[in-house]
Structures are given as C-alpha cells and as structure tokens.
Structure 1
Amino acid sequence: MRIALELSHRNRYLTLPVNVNHLISSLIYHIVSNSSSEYAERLHEQGYRLDKRTFKLFTFSPLFPGGHRRWKMNRDGTMTTDARSVSIMISSGKAEFIEHLVVGLLHQPYVQIGRQRFKVETVKKLEPPELGDDMRFIMLSPLVCSTKLDGEKYPKFLLPGDEEFKRVLLENLLGKYEALCGQSYEGENTELRVEVSEEYVERKHGKITKLITLKEGLPDETKIRGMLAPFRLRVSQSLMEVGYYCGFGGLNAQGFGMVKVENR
C-alpha cells in the first residue's frame, strides 16, 4: 500500500538539507511511535527478520515541491523552494506499518523535518497499479545494490552492467518476500532480467548514478551511490509486487529504491 502526504509551511521560502533522507526516516519512525511505540522500536531495532538479515519493508520518495515548483540547489549543501507545500509518498508491503503510520498522523497534525515545521494537510491512499511480470519503472529514488567481502571496510556499489547486479537484486527480493510472507518463495520462475533505458543513458552521457550522504556531518556519516534511471524489469509478479511496495535493492527505509510505473 502507498499513501501520499501533503505538508504545508508558512515560510516565504523553504530550505532543507539536500541530504535529508535520514531526517525523513527518523520522522516516519516518530509518527509510527505515536500509534505504537513498541512497534516503532521493534521495527527500528529489529525489523522483519530472516535468519541474520533484517528488512524494514517500507520506503519513501523524495520531497516534491507543490505547484510544479522545483528545488534550487545551494552551495552550502541545502536546497530551497518557493513552493508553499511539499508532498511525499510512503510505501510498504506491510498493512500494519501503514495502519500505524496513519493512526500516528491523526495524533500529530504538525511534523518537523530538521528545523522546519509543517502542517499535515492531507493523507491520501494511492490507487495500486496493475503489476505483472514485465514492467517499466521510473526511479523516484536511487536503487542501491552492493556487495561486501569479508575483511573489506566499504561495500562495492553495483550497476546493471556488473556481473553480480542481477544476483544481488534477486536475492534481495527473495529475502523480502520471505520476511513479508513468512514463507520461502515457491514460484517456479526465479529468473530476473533488468534493462536500463539506453536512450536515457545516452542522454545523460552515461551518468546514471546519484551519491547521497546519510547522517551528514555526524560521526557515522555514510556515502551511498545508487542507480537513478528508468528501467525495464522482468521477474515474477509476486516478486515485482514486493519490490514495488517495499522498495527495490537495499536501504529502503532510508529512502532508496522507490519506483513508479512508467507513464503513470
């Protein structure tokens, strides 16, 4: 399920950090805790477990300025818009997460992102698209696939041209499916094919990644690189639905891997 929030503010201009992901993620946990502090703490600390791996099974989009406005990037690492409102989509394959989120919003008509205060104007459930086993998506936020060998300090971020990309993406979907459904995937088709839009790659001169800094300026600051390009995905419908609602790739709860259906 997906919901969209419209948030208004009273400032002439709205300025936020460019690397705002961790602030939004923290806000989501805070809103959920208004409904159930126990659930929010369990989700944050443990998530949905699968052996030694954990999945949060939710993701969110960037903040979109209202009125067809855009963000202006400033040299000091902030972004500014004159839009009087912003919107954000939040998505999860877990109904209980969305339920706690909506109930939490009923208890919190105002929210804080960094130093900015917003009024929650609307909370809207989005109509689900028809998903099949062959879909074309537009990335709303970067898709992160990575591997990390024993003894290495930093992960290796993968792109569709890398040999391990498809394997890592598929294993991630299978893990989420099991964490979401409570059982192993038993479908016959476990093949995955992904094709990035060649026209887009050519238009962007091959620059189809985006670097985002999490917890910028803090001791545990982390730089993440992900793919940001339209792509075609062929995989079973069940796994397609998992990726659409829970996010594709890793770090979904930090705002990575959210897509929308092309031409929708």
Structure 2
Amino acid sequence: MRFTRRTLIRASFFIVPMRDENGGRDMYITITLQSDVPWEIPVNYNHLLQAAIYRHLSPEFADFLHNQGYIVDRRRFTLFSFSRLMGPHDYIPASKMLVFQNKVQLILSSPIERFIREITQVLLMEGIRIGSHCLRVTSIQTEIFKVDRSVIEIETLSPVVAYSTLLRPDGRKYTKYFYPGEKDFQRIISDNLVRKAKLIYGANLAFAPVSINSIGDFRKQIVLYKNTIIEAYNGRFILEGDSRLLQAAVDAGLGGKNSCGFGCIRPISR
C-alpha cells in the first residue's frame, strides 16, 4: 500500500494538484472545518452533509450525479462516499442533537477527477454550509492510496450497508439488511464492488468475488436517513481479492448507499 499526501491552504489563487509524480490521482480528501462558536446538528445528519456536497458542485454535475449517475448492469452509482463528522462533540439526548466544538473534519473519496476538483476548489473559496451553519474551510489534505496487493485491512469512517429489496407474499416490497458474517453480506458487498470496478476500469472485464471478514467485533448503527431506517455496521475488516476491486472500495466506498453517507473506508497501514 502506497500513499501520497498534500495539504492545501486557503489562498486567493491556487491550483489544485490532481496527479502525483507517478501519474496517480488525488482521490481522498480530508477537509478541516472551523467555527468560532459551538454548533448543533441533528444526530441523523447524513442528508444534511449530502445536500452540502451537492451544493458545492457545479449545478449540471450535481444534477447528473443526483438524478442519473453512472450506470452498469442496470444499476446506478454516484461513485463517491463521505465519512461521518469527526471532532469533539457532546450529545444532547432530549433534543437528539450533537454539539460540535470549533474544529471538525470530513473525509470525501471518489475515483471521479471532476468530483474532487470541483468540490475542492469551491470549498477553499466559499467554505461550506451544513444545514443552517456556515463553516470555514481551514485546510484540505489530499491523499492517494494506491492498492498494490490482494489483501488490505480497512476501518470504516462511515458504516457499511448491505441490503436487498425483497417481496412479501402479498407483493409489497421490503428491505432486508445483512450483517457481517452472513453469506449474503459478503455476496452483496462483492457484487457491488465488481460493478464499481467495471465502471472505473471497463465494463467488459471479469472479476472474481472479493472476500470480506471482520476483525474483532463490529458495531451495528441505526441511521435515520430522511424517513428511512437503515441498518449499517462499523468496524475493521480484511478485504481480499483483485487489487482493482480493493482500489474501487477505497476510492468509491464499500457497500451500498455511499452517496448517502455510508461505506467510506480508510486503509490501515501495516
């Protein structure tokens, strides 16, 4: 596993580096946000972060990602993921609000160069609005994680989702969520990565399935996304398979609903 890191600071004029000396792309950005006063956000804030991300893309590109996306095998992908907000905070049970202190970080990843370029440029110039709160962007650190092996260890920065839409006997649809260790969890994660890799590397390529195994205990997290209850899992996992599939997981996210704030992962160096 190789990685390269850069830090960009606010400036009146800047050039965002999109390739390193070996021709790789910066697909992984850590945004440091600053507020002069503590600020509140609902504990279920995924939709607010998602809206903030789309607002900081050009209107035509945001519309494309939100309403069309990248299609393969009749499935639609947006090919980006984002982490939870990371920083000191308090939880207020009565209002179900999180109160963040002055500094927080947010991580975004995508294999789409335009996504990284647009959002980096706009954030540095304008800052970001999350819900009703306007935050300054004090730095953006860009990284390249080059997967050059068939086994990697990762940790989740936002929980991983594996689900299927099934039919009840009366014909009504329902969503079934799977947990790490279930056969269907592994199958769904692997099939999802194969489709992402086809979009990134070529639709005519064939890939063997990826295996995913948890390291130690995993933690279930229930997230209310708008009006939908989603079951997801945090933890550390070992991924084994074609390095291009593992690269797709790092760049585009692991599992489903990545653009809703699920499946952002980070490789663990060893």
TM superposition score category, shorter chain reference:
0.7 to 0.9
* Residue 181 of structure 1 pairs with residue 201 of structure 2: yes
Aligned counterparts of 1:242 and 1:152: Cα–Cα separation in 2:
34
Alignment partners' CA distance in 1, 2:92 and 2:46 = 17
CA offsets 1:54-93 (integer angstroms, 9 cap, x no match): 000000111111xxxx3221111111133x1111111001
Correspondence list, 1:172-251, <5 A: 172-187=192-207, 190-198=208-216, 200=217, 208-215=219-226, 221-251=227-257
Query: Aligned equivalents of 1:103 and 1:81: distance in 2?
Result: 25
Deviation of the 1:153 alpha carbon: 3.0
Q: What are the ranges of 5 or more consecutive residues in structure 1 without an aligned counterpart?
A: 202-207, 216-220
Query: Which position in structure 2 is the counterpart of 1:204?
Result: none
What is the identity, as a one-letter code, of the residue corresponding to 2:70?
A: Y
Q: Secondary structure at the match of 1:86?
A: strand
Letter in 2 for 1:103: Q
TM-score, with structure 1 as normaliser: 0.85
1:129 Cα deviation (Å)? Answer: 4.9
Aligned pair 1:120/2:120, yes or no?
no
Q: Which has the higher strand share?
A: 2
Select 1:77's aligned residue among 74, 96, 113. Answer: 96
Deviations 1:19-76 (A, max 9, x none): 111111111111012xxx21111111001112421000000111111xxxx3221111
What 5-or-longer segments of structure 2 have no aligned partner?
1-26
The reply to whether residue 95 of structure 1 matches residue 113 of structure 2 is yes
* Partner SS for 1:24: helix
**SS at structure 2 position matched to 1:230:** strand
Corresponding position: 1:47 with 2:73: no
Give the Å deviation of 1:235. 1.4
Equivalent residue number for residue 9 of structure 1: 35
Check conservation: 2:181, 2:214, Cα contact below 8 A.
no
Q: Which of residues 127, 131, 136 is equivalent to 1:110?
A: 127
Q: Give the SS at the match of 1:196.
A: strand
Q: What SS class does the counterpart of residue 173 from structure 2 fall into?
A: coil
Which deviations, in whole Å up to 9, do the C-alpha atoms of 1:101-121 show, x marking residues without a partner? 223324x42321112110111
Deviation for aligned residue 1:244: 0.8
Tell me the equivalent position of 1:205.
none
Q: CA RMSD in A?
A: 1.7
Counterpart check, 1:168 vs 2:193: no
1:263 is displaced (CA, Å) by 4.7
Q: In the aligned structure 2, how far is the partner of 1:132 from the partner of 1:112?
A: 39
Q: Does 1:20 align with 2:68?
A: no
Paired with 2:209 and 2:69, the residues of 1 have a C-alpha distance of 27
Check the 8 A contact 1:57/1:180 in 2, yes or no: no
| Residue in structure 2 matching 1:60, options 54, 58, 82 | 82
| Partner amino acid, structure 2, of 1:32 | L
- Are 1:21 and 1:214, in contact at CA under 8 Å, matched by a contact in 2? yes
Alignment partner, residue 218 of structure 1: none
* Counterpart Cα distance in 2 of 1:237 and 1:129: 9
Distance in 1 (alpha carbons) for counterparts of 2:211 and 2:144: 27
CA distance 1:238–1:129, change in 2 (3 Å): closer
Deviation at 1:152, TM superposition (A): 4.2
> TM-score with structure 2 length normalisation?
0.83
Partner Cα distance (1:253, 1:94) in 2: 13
Question: AA paired with 2:155?
Answer: I
Percent sequence identity over matched residues? Answer: 28
Aligned residues: 240
Matching residue's letter, 1:9:
S
Assess if the C-alpha contact under 8 Å between 1:139 and 1:228 holds in 2.
yes
Could you tell which deviates more after superposition, 150-159 or 124-133? 124-133
